[in-house]
């Protein structure tokens, strides 16, 4: 069992490929290097996707993210590269990667990149009533 950084993204079959459902992952310890100064850049990555036939295996995702630690990348480049690699490996119905880089030089940077499978359209959003608070007995409806 390897614990070395790797560009390999392992997958497993989507256990509910018959429906759209959102998979949400937060990666709070992403690091890469500034290509100009060599100083570390720190970010929280948020990955949201709707799988088609495949899901990403978490350990391989962790090792993949770790593989950027000693590489120089601009924020825009690394965000789009990660999205491209993940969408190539998983072929999801939809995927969004949000990269929130911590302040450097007084500037916070957030990069958001999307991938959509050709022809895929999201289902209409369903709004459900909030049942966590009791209804007011003084109102009708």
Active site residues: 34, 41
Q: Which residues of 1-26 are buried (b: 16+ CB within 10 A; e: fewer)?
A: eeeeeeeebbeeebeeeeeeeeeeee
The pLDDT of residue 137 is: 65
Is residue 138 in a domain?
Answer: no
How many domains in the chain?
1
The pLDDT of residue 136 is: 65
pLDDT at residue 31 is higher than 90: yes
124 pLDDT tier (thresholds 50, 70, 90)? confident
Domain boundaries, position 43: 11-116
For the entire predicted model, the pTM comes to 0.86
Is residue 53 in a domain?
Answer: yes
Is residue 27 in a domain?
Answer: yes
d(CA 41, CA 89): 26
d(CA 34, CA 130): 45
CATH number at 41 reads 3.30.1130.10
DSSP structure string for 21-75: -EEEEEEEEEEEE-TTT--EEEEEEEEEEE-SSEEE-HHHHHHHHHTTTTSB--H
Q: How confident is the model over 53-76, as pLDDT tens digits?
A: 999 999 999 999 999 999 999 999
pLDDT at residue 35 is higher than 90: yes
Is residue 45 in a domain?
Answer: yes
């Amino acid at each position: 069992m390897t614990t070395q950084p790797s560009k390999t993204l392992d997958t497993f079959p989507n256990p509910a490929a018959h429906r759209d459902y959102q998979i949400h992952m937060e990666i709070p310890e992403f690091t890469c290097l500034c290509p100009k100064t060599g100083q570390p850049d720190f970010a929280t990555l948020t990955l949201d996707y709707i799988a088609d036939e495949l899901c990403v295996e978490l350990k391989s995702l962790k090792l993949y993210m770790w593989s950027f630690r000693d590489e120089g990348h601009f924020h825009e480049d690394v965000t789009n590269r990660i999205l491209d690699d993940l969408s190539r490996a998983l072929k999801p119905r939809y995927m969004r990667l949000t990269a929130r880089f911590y302040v450097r030089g007084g500037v916070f940077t957030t990069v958001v990149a999307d991938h959509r499978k050709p022809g895929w359209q999201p289902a209409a959003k369903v709004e459900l009533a909030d049942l966590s608070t009791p209804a007011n007995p003084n109102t009708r409806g």
